[in-house]
Amino acid sequence: MSTAYIALGSNLENPAKQLQDAVNAMGHWEHSSIEAISKVYSSRAVGPGNQPDYLNAVVKITTRLSPSALLEHLQMQETAQGRIRNEQWGARTLDLDILLFDNLQISTQNLEIPHPAMKQRNFVLYPLADIVKLDMMLPCGSDLGTLLQQSARDDLACSDISLNYNFKSE
């Protein structure tokens, strides 16, 4: 089994429901299991136009899927939840990104792991820190604690929304 960290984001059509629906779907994937879910954070949109604020979270999963198969599952879920890809960084019902996959570094036309912008995004780093140790080393050689110290919290706020999942007891 491999361990992957997935970033979830939404700023359209009831973002809290969009994130919860994505977690529910991931919880039913064959060959995968949700291990942890971060708190939900709200942040201003990064992108064109006057967009609504985002809700963001990170989910840790274990999976037998390959990185490319996992990406395919995530993109199918985005589409199932109404994502339309017509503008880069535009508003969206759901955005699911693979942040990390084991300690792999992958760079293809369709997939880059670690996620290329994760080190600059407080709305990724803070939720990730909720579910991993701060001394976690990323494949690039940076540790999460140092990246957090270098990342301003700015408008990022912990939300009172929580994502529910019935974790399997051992």
Write down the catalytic residue from 85, 95, 135, 143. 95
Annotate 103-155 with DSSP letters as a single string: T--EE-SS-EES-TTGGG-HHHHHHHHHHS-TTPBPTTS-BHHHHHHHS--TT
Q: Is the pTM of this model over 0.85?
A: yes
Count of the separate structural domains present in the chain: 1
130 catalytic per annotation: no
Determine whether 97 is an active site residue. yes
**Hunting for tokens 């059509």 — which residue is that?**
13
* Within a domain: 166: no
Catalytic residue among 21, 64, 92, 155, which? 92
Q: By CB neighbour count within 10 A (0-12 exposed, 13-18 middle, 19+ buried), where does 19 fall?
A: buried
- 105: domain CATH number is 3.30.70.560
pLDDT per residue of the chain (170 residues) written in tens, 0 to 9:
999 999 999 999 999 999 999 999 999 999 999 999 999 999 998 777 789 999 999 999 999 999 999 999 999 999 999 988 776 666 889 999 999 999 999 999 999 999 989 999 999 999 999 999 999 999 988 899 999 999 988 889 999 999 999 886 54
Q: Whole domain around residue 48: which residue ranges?
A: 2-158
Q: Mark whether 95 is an active-site residue.
A: yes
Cis bond before residue 15 (omega within 30° of 0): no
Catalytic residue status for 21: no
